[in-house]
Amino acid sequence: MGQYIAIVDGHEITTSQYYKCSQCKRRKLKTKDGSIKYQYYHSFSALILAGEKYSFVLDIEPIAPGESEVTSSYRLLKRVCQNYPRAFKVLIGDALYLNEKIFKLLESHHKKTIAVLKEERRQLFEEANKLSLLSKPEVYQDKKTIYKVWDHTISGCWDGYGKDVRVIVSEETTTTRIHAKDGSRWEQKSEVSNWMWVTNIMDSSLGDLKNTVRICHSRWQIENKCFNETVNTWKADHIYRHSENAIIAFLLLLFICVNIFNIFLARNIKDAKVKTKIYLINIIKAEFLTLKRPPPLVPIPI
């Protein structure tokens, strides 16, 4: 499509059994000895723009105690569509976002939606399975995975939305080579995964079915390139002051820094030695540590 794809999802941070505030969410845990403990945490919805070379976080919205992820994401999407009307044309979400309010909100801003389909949407799910039994799939291979893909247009199975939708069904068989149990030879192991997505993109703007499935799978970028990377590489799970405003301010600042870093790494590196993020991070860290006049420490109120 030549444009960024928007991806939305929820994420938890600052999980603790001891530190809490008025905006913490709480869940009950049962220990091995049968006693009950409570775990406190914050969560937020995030929207990223995913591209071929890099992805970056565009905005986040806290999920308040007693509030669902979809409610928070609705506010987030409404604000993003108003502030960045040309940032994206297609949004991808998990099964929670197969929601008529989300689809209609994005349609009102001339945008389309792709959401994962699961058994909870029984009418759509069963209709897609029936149609798949009556038609032949498109079959192709990409690396070690063989894809069987069906493309259906379904009417009258989503009362809350009230329009025709397109359902993409993908059966994916991946073959890998593993050691046999006795260690004397190699064996071929095949794993089959089944995916379904619902979208209101009824034309061919996503390209052929192979490209459509690739775009649908790009939803995992928000986990791999946003949440996992910021926690494991940038220590986003550590907070410096436990209050809602401080946590959101820290995350926004962190995401701005990570966005600039990733764009710089992808577009402006002249040194051929720099091939990984960790290598560049260590170079920047070393330069700070070797400064003759280190920057003054800013006191943080407690």
Beta bridge partners of 114: 92, 199
What token pair was written down for 8? 């939305």
Mean pLDDT (the chain) is: 89
Interval 124-135 mean pLDDT: 94
Q: What are 261-292's pLDDT values in tens digits?
A: 888 888 877 777 777 888 888 888 888 888 77
Distance CA 254, CA 233 (A): 12
Question: Residue 92: which of 119, 73, 67 has the closest Cα?
Answer: 73
SS3 191: strand
Provide CB contacts within 8 A for 130, sequence distance 6+.
none
What CA–CA distances, in Å, run from 262 to 177, 220, 276?
A: 34, 18, 11
How many CB atoms sit inside 10 A of residue 245's CB? Answer: 10
Question: Residue 103: which of 92, 90, 112, 95 has the closest Cα?
Answer: 112
In the chain, domain spans? 5-289
Q: Does domain 5-289 have CATH number 3.90.350?
A: yes
Distance CA 135, CA 73 (A): 36
> pTM of the full predicted structure?
0.87
Q: What are 151-197's pLDDT values in tens digits?
A: 999 999 998 898 999 999 999 999 888 877 777 788 888 899 999 99
Kindly tell me if the per-residue pLDDT of 224 is higher than 70: yes
